[in-house]
Structure 1
Amino acid sequence: MTKKNGGPAFPQSGVCTPEIESWDSNDFGGRGLSMRDYFAAKVMQGVMASGTPMSIGTNHQEAMLDMALAFYSMADAMLSAREAS
């Protein structure tokens, strides 16, 4: 099952502008950072900046995965709340 990702966080559309070495196309707008990724990154940033000590234990890799899953869980809740409002 594919989770809803909220669509692109920073959609783009337009035309290629070689004069200023910039591009902007409809084909690119749907790729890249999704709203889900953006929300999860914001949750992670807040947790890391809070200074709250995190228990890592002996299995560092597993603890990091658990935290990342928690960040995405919060992002999913934010997307659900966004749809409900």
Structure 2
Amino acid sequence: MLAPSSGLLIQRSNNKFRVNVIVDRCKECGICIALCPTRVLVKSNTLFNRYGFRPPEPLYIEKCIGCRLCEYSCPDFALFVEKVSSG
């Protein structure tokens, strides 16, 4: 897993999983949005990274099932999914 070295990190959690988006790594390809089986991610309407791209936002985080398709499909390693500890 690659962690952000600097810049903005969007984090949203439900009671099982946390979706992290490293804003400046996103190139707005939309692959993560298209492949998410539960439609957790949407293209941001208000946030732009320093390159002018709109990153995905985990707007419907309550639907996340932790499949990590978004993470595995991202060519720029711009997002990752973590299991939320129950402790």
More strand per residue: 1 or 2? 2
Please give the TM-score of this superposition, normalised by the length of structure 2. Answer: 0.21
More helix per residue: 1 or 2? 1
> Which one scores higher on RCO, CA 8 angstroms, separation ≥ 6?
2
Q: Which has the larger radius of gyration?
A: 1
Please give the TM-score of this superposition, normalised by the length of structure 1. Answer: 0.21
